[in-house]
């Protein structure tokens, strides 16, 4: 397959073969990460700018690490220390950054559609690192990659995603990455956080965590996105945790070799009990590991590579 995309704005329009192509490229990138010297010259002379208008730990450092492993120059920009605080618009900020000739701008923004807007106004590649409650495509790809590594396949597997479905950009990307690969997806949360129209994606909706987790191969827990909630969606965090938190008793309903995932940051004791977060079935840190390989693949494909780097 030949890679033709200039931007990665979301997985909504990715064809299954494109998703497979990214996964294959990520596999070669992961091989680089097992070497003593974890660096290849693939993007030497190219610049990647991380433009983050919302907090991030994993995604920003992962993109930075990915760029550096490929020998790109990586520049990090965070809104709290920038001229945004002096009133500069997103477009002005981006145009000024573009004048410094980056190959790729990786953007995270609280507004859904901000990366799409930028892609129409700048000539470099844009990667969406999370836009509001819309999409988080590299998270969708790394979740798929992590499951493929752990289970060998996703087609036909029951994958339950539990939590704040309404505000989660992770779920919107997972629906594409895992759904297009043939997973049987179940979405679960309180009725107020489980939009009915999500049923149109082919996923099964339920407000009962036991039904969602029963016989599941994978359980993905989501954080309550308090920063995006404008009103009260449930009586208290304590009650939410009692009804929708994953603990040993609920997890025992899943398949014996089921795995637990979470995009992070985890609110321990709310959506996931402490012991489960760190247990042998938890893939949380493997997701972080996969993140670097997947982001290397995306940067490599966008910044000029057409086949695996050596
Ligand atoms: N880190 C993920 C995101 O940025 C999940 C979360 O914040 O809960 O969407």
**pLDDT score for 80:** 72
Q: Is 223 in the pocket of ligand 1 (CB under 6 A)?
A: yes
Output the CA 288–ligand 1 centroid distance in Å: 12
Q: Write the DSSP string, 194-215.
A: S-GGGGGGT-EEES-HHHHHTT
263 CB within 6 A, ligand 1? yes
For residues 131 and 109, is the Cβ–Cβ distance under 8 A? yes
3-class DSSP string for 79-94: HHHCHHHHCCCHHHHH
Collapse the DSSP code of 282 into the 3-class scheme (helix H, G, I; strand E, B; otherwise coil) and give the result: strand
Distance 263 CA to ligand 1 centre (A): 6
108 lines ligand 1 (CB under 6 A): no
pTM of the complete model:
0.95
CA distance 63 to 50: 8
Segments of the chain scoring below 70 in pLDDT: 81-82, 84-85, 305-310
Q: Which residue from 56, 133, 223 has its CB within 8 A of the most atoms of ligand 1, so it is best to mutate?
A: 223
Is residue 136 within 6 Å of ligand 1 at its C-beta?
A: yes
End-to-end CA distance of the chain: 19
Mutate to test the pocket of ligand 1, among 263, 268, 284, 291 (most ligand atoms within 8 A of CB): 263
Question: Counting atoms of ligand 1 from 1, which one is nearest the CA of 58?
Answer: 1
Instruction: Print burial letters for 104-140: b (CB count within 10 Å at least 16), e (below 16).
Output: bbbbbbeebebbbbbbeebebbbbbbbbbbbbbbbbb
Residue 170 in contact with ligand 1 by CB distance below 6 A:
yes
Give residue 310's pLDDT: 45
DSSP letter for each residue of 162-180? ES-TTT-HHHHHHHHHHHT
CB atoms within 10 A of CB 236: 9
Q: Name the one residue in this structure whose structure tokens are 């909504």.
A: 12
CA-to-CA distance for 156 and 170, rounded, in angstroms? 21
Whole-number pLDDT of residue 265: 96
Ligand 1: which atom is nearest the Cα of residue 139? 2
- C-alpha 170 – ligand 1 centre gap (Å): 7
How far apart CA 283 and CA 305 sit, in angstroms, is 30
Q: Which domains does the chain have, with CATH numbers?
A: 16-136+289-302 (3.40.50.1370), 138-284 (3.40.50.1370)
Which pair of tokens denotes residue 274? 């402490």
Q: Is 176 in the pocket of ligand 1 (CB under 6 A)?
A: no
Looking at the CA of residue 170, tell me the nearest atom of ligand 1. 9
264 lines ligand 1 (CB under 6 A): yes
Q: Exposed/middle/buried for 204, CB within 10 Å: 0-12, 13-18, 19+?
A: middle
Let me know: does 157 contact 183? Beta carbons within 8 Å.
yes
pLDDT tens-digit series, residues 50-84? 999 998 989 999 999 999 999 999 999 877 766 76
Q: Residue 246's beta-bridge partner residues?
A: 272
Cα–Cα dist 116/134, whole Å: 11
Token pair for residue 264? 């992070």
Strand ranges inside the chain, DSSP E: 47-52, 73-78, 104-109, 125-131, 158-162, 184-188, 204-206, 218-221, 259-261
In short, whether 132's Cβ falls inside 6 Å of ligand 1 is no
pLDDT of residue 202: 93
Alpha-carbon distance of 159 to 111, in angstroms, equals 28
pLDDT at 305: 56
Residue 275 has a CB neighbour count (10 Å cut-off) of: 12
Atom of ligand 1 nearest to the CA of 136: 9
Of 97, 125, 138, which Cα lies nearest the Cα of 7? 125
């Amino acid at each position: 397959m030949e890679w033709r995309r200039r931007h990665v704005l979301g997985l909504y329009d990715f064809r299954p073969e494109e998703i497979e192509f990214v996964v294959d490229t990520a596999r070669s990138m992961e091989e680089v990460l097992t070497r003593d010297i974890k660096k290849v010259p693939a993007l030497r002379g190219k610049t990647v700018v991380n433009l983050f208008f919302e907090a991030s730990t994993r995604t920003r450092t992962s993109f930075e690490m990915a760029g550096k492993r490929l020998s790109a120059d990586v520049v990090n920009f965070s809104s709290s220390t920038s001229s945004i605080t002096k009133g500069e618009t997103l477009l002005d900020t981006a145009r000024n950054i573009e004048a410094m000739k980056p190959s790729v701008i990786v953007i995270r923004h609280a507004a859904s559609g901000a990366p799409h807007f930028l892609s129409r106004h700048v000539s470099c590649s844009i990667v969406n690192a999370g836009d509001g409650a819309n999409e988080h495509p590299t998270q969708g790809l790394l979740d798929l990659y992590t499951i493929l590594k752990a289970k060998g396949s996703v087609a036909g597997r029951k994958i339950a995603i539990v939590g704040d479905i309404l505000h989660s950009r992770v779920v919107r990307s997972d629906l594409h990455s895992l759904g297009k690969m043939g997973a049987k997806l179940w979405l679960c949360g309180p009725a107020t956080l489980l939009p009915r129209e999500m049923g149109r994606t082919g996923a099964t909706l339920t407000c009962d965590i036991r039904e969602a987790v029963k016989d599941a191969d994978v359980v993905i827990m989501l954080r309550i996105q308090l920063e995006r909630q404008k009103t009260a969606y449930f009586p208290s965090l304590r009650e939410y945790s009692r009804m929708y938190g994953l603990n040993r008793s609920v997890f025992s309903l899943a398949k014996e070799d089921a795995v637990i995932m979470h995009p992070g940051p985890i609110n321990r004791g709310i959506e996931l009990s402490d012991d489960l977060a760190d247990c042998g079935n938890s893939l949380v840190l493997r997701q972080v590991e996969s993140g670097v390989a997947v982001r290397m693949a995306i940067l490599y494909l966008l910044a000029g590579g057409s086949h695996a780097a050596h």
